Structure 1
């Protein structure tokens, strides 16, 4: 007997790269904020009134790091349910995927987190070396009104380029496109879904490329993987809607909501089935801003004790600062903000040289009391502190690559001194620069100049050590840096300094037990009062070109 024709509408909402933006309160800036899951919750609940169980809520990872609320539950209140797990369960997420910043806290944190979450945690290309099988579920099947929806999770495989192996011990990360082809074929043969959604923690295209994998592979996956209907992605913090042609000429809708719960990816799928077979399928969607959505007061009330607990933690005073300092100064020369970290790294490790980059674009720590919250402005990520052996020439080449990504080669006085790209003004990791600002390493412990009229690879002239000794390109030096950089992050040590990736681990002579922020806070608390000033150990030259160009580009970037 023939079955009646049935039409089912599904609404798919995806968050990605939330980075701790859980509540309508920024614990770092200590003020109310627009982007948060409290507003996403309001939007989702409104849609659930119309769609009921046919609303499917997904998260694409990078949620375990970024705000003090994450740090507090990852490392301080470890006896309690992780706040991320609690939020996923409260909001009734249907499936979530791993992000690279979810791996960074290490097995102890994310294994506990996975065990607490009531929905499937996905990662088809995260392979357990002991079994050869995915470490978490590769996919999940969600059935709504007779429609079978397969959600396939993927994580960017570039983890080994950023993170020490102890954080992902026992794991291997497969190329996204190759893994997706294998798993989509499996799904079509064994699960026979009506819709296949890729939940990929990977950017659109570009990033790190090796012989084994590409960091950002969503566009390629949409073009090459036969069977994908919708790809919900993230990682690159760039809001995007695109439609790619699949290998059979079908349209594949791809949505990226960017970061910090400012937007959601919002898709509607309409399926018409007759006699159990799909006869019509339409997919539409957009990146939807949630800035104007109301705060979900029930959500805020449910998490009130968590909010208060984290507030008490970040409001603790640890010292005093004598003068306001700004990260924006770091782009234009030696700055108090960056040099404070440099000097503490050198003091803590007794290294000869320090590398450090601005991890935020425009943070400030105001004159007066320093609170725990300010430490998240001073140092955004949970990196460890490392010391590596490097030759003087490797130090120079490392800095050459950094400044080549940071500053322009000026051909005339009217040129930009900063290496800018107007297409990146809304990119949360570039802010108008061509490259990611957290790779703009400067150095302390040496005195040097950066000649912006010289070609790439020839800009940095190291004059001498900061203690007055001769700088020797052939001599071995101890160099302090964060664990991201020490592991090859940003490729400054590998492509820049020319150190083979597999040699980096052999170069490490020290790695801290705790994250760098912990030691910086401890040192400030010991000193009680700090009065940071620029070291003034490096500058852009020639002055007649650099000074007016710096003033022009500073006004362009910061309107000052």
Structure 2
């Protein structure tokens, strides 16, 4: 008589947690819904039913976001990184590298890897000295007689965003190529019952070059047969679906998005007959965990660490006379963006400054300004660069920026902004057609943006803001963040037309520390600030753009 055995596994994925470990937002100094403290309660409830057959995975971008990360990455470096401490406490089985983890630099992420009790994967992160993976390409787990292999991959677009010393000694392989190689290897060598893909790469698209695609998770699912389940992230957009691979097999694909607001939850049921696997069923779902109870044991366990972070973020550094809002940046000159642009000019002595709003709807309120507010003013740990650009390149750079941002209006009833109803639930686009962190404007020059003109003819640079003539043939010193200076957003490459391999030669100064550090220093020096818009550029014709902007503001932000 046949011996039948059925094993049920429960696979839980978090991704793009971005420091949301606790039910408290250290930036805005208020409770927050998403947190690993709630994920912990959900996982613990599953462990009561499934025991060790619960497999807990994290998909990277855990080292950047909240001040908790910054404090343990760069200030309290003698202690165990809190991102390792909390993962060990929650008993994660596998971690995967994210691009923002690489952004912290070798000193931070190499230390973090050593402090974790679980492996950190990166099959396509290659050590250039050995030509082998820098860390483990896959992890083998055993549960109730079932052998599970988890293969980790990272988006290979890292060099487009990050300066090379952050990833020195590494290169990043095409995801499809790497996945094909490692699936073949684990099938031959490990002979697993289940293969799971853990990919820090979005659904599809992003930066596309002849060598790779930034977001290739569904492409791998289709073109590399062998995966039973693919868990992905990076693009901050929830996804619960499946694709059919080239062999006709259905592959469940899940993405829980960001900030520990949800988890990907898959049940895998494996049937064995006389010791041989005969059937594998995968059912996936996304679970909103914002109403889960807070794991109070976790909160108590980390009270000392959170007290230290609170002490750090509650330090007063200055005072603002008026409230500034990032939302104003989409409709013209704004005090929020211009404060950063002006401080960049002051810090660097550059002629012109570029910057985009990095948060969709942030505010720094009138009154005392604290360290925590700096994470609203400037979200990422970018460095500050000064680069050389010709006047013509500056004009082309701005043309691409506004083309990503602004609709070409055909009538006064059209939208001012380039909106997309399909992205309103997208945590990166948030109602825009394109990423708002690429919506650069400028300080140091006076110009108009004619929204009735086609791409290439919208931007008219009138003069330098100091009254001097703007010369398209002259070389100017331009302040940009390191993300932009390394090619992020492609404004310098596709926009200005500078070959990517030439970008490094254009950098004539780079900061030793992150940009937020210097912005904080300048605010401390000045003490009391009253940020105002520069009024150095505007959309025209204003008889169209002002009413259209008011309509679009209501669509995006309501009556705020």
State the TM bucket, normalised to the shorter chain. Answer: over 0.9
Residue 3 of structure 1: CA displacement? 7.6
The answer for the alignment partner of 1:6 in structure 2 is: 5
Report the CA distance between 1:441 and its aligned residue: 0.2
* Corresponding residue number in structure 2 for 1:288: 287
Corresponding position of 2:530: 531
Match of 1:354 in 2: 353
**d(CA) in 2 for partners of 1:485, 1:538:** 21
- Residue 248 of structure 1: CA displacement? 1.1
- Structure 2 equivalent of residue 120 of structure 1: 119
TM superposition shift of 1:495: 0.1
Alignment of 1:82-93 (within 5 A): 82-93=81-92
Distance 2:146 2:139 in 1: 13
Query: Does the Cα contact within 8 Å between 1:74 and 1:109 map onto a contact in 2?
Result: yes
Structure 2 Cα separation of the partners of residues 425 and 6 of structure 1: 45
Is 1:328 equivalent to 2:327 in the alignment? yes
Residue aligning to 1:81: 80
In structure 2, the partner of 1:387 is 386
When the two structures are aligned, how many residues end up with a matched partner?
A: 559
In the other structure, the counterpart of 2:264 is 265
Question: Where in structure 1 are there 5+ consecutive unaligned residues?
Answer: none
For residues 213 and 196 of structure 1, the distance between their equivalents in structure 2, rounded to whole angstroms, comes to 23
Structure-to-structure mapping, 1:88-487, within 5 angstroms: 88-487=87-486
1:435: Cα distance to partner?
A: 0.4
The residue that corresponds to 1:43 in the other structure is: 42
Q: After superposition, what is the alpha-carbon deviation per residue over 1:161-205, rounded to whole angstroms, capped at 9, x for unaligned?
A: 000001000000000011000000001111000000000000000
Contact kept, 8 Å, 1:64 with 1:70, in 2: the verdict is yes
Work out the CA distance in 2 between the residues paired with 1:457 and 1:175: 33
Q: 1:3·1:276 contact (CA, 8 Å) conserved in 2?
A: no
Partner SS for 2:294: coil
Q: Distance in 2 between matches of 1:3 and 1:69?
A: 55
Which SS does the other structure have where 2:512 is aligned? strand
Cα distance in 1 between the residues matched to 2:140 and 2:125: 19
**What is the alpha-carbon distance in structure 1 between the residues aligned to residue 493 and residue 68 of structure 2?**
34
For 1:13, what is the secondary structure of its paired residue?
strand
Supply the distance in 2 between the matched residues of 1:435 and 1:68 (Cα, whole angstroms): 27
Cα distance in 1 for partners of 2:246, 2:49 equals 35
Given the two structures, how large is their TM-score scaled by the length of structure 2? 0.99
- Tell me which stretches of 4 or more aligned residues in structure 1 moved more than 4 Å: none
Find the aligned partners of 1:351 and 1:98 in 2 and give their Cα distance.
Answer: 35
C-alpha distance in 2 between matches for 1:492 and 1:276:
57
Cα shift at 1:401: 0.3
SS of equivalent to 1:347: helix
1:535-554 superposed Cα distances (whole Å, 9 cap, x missing partner): 00000000111111111111
Report the CA distance between 1:276 and its aligned residue.
2.3
Aligned counterparts of 1:531 and 1:210: Cα–Cα separation in 2: 44
Render the CA deviation track for 1:299-340: whole Å, top value 9, x for unaligned. Answer: 111111111110110000000000000000000000100000
Distance 1:360 1:116 in 2: 31
Cα RMSD of the aligned pairs, angstroms, is 0.7
* SS of equivalent to 2:361: coil
**Superimposed CA distance per residue, residues 67-86 of structure 1 (whole angstroms, 9 cap, x where no aligned partner):** 10000000000000000000
Residue number in structure 2 paired with 1:491:
490
Q: Is the 8 A contact 1:142 1:149 kept in 2?
A: yes
- Secondary structure of the residue aligned to 1:51 is helix
Q: Shift of residue 4 of structure 1?
A: 2.8
Q: Distance in 1 between matches of 2:137 and 2:187?
A: 14
> How far apart in 1 are the matches of 2:310 and 2:421?
37
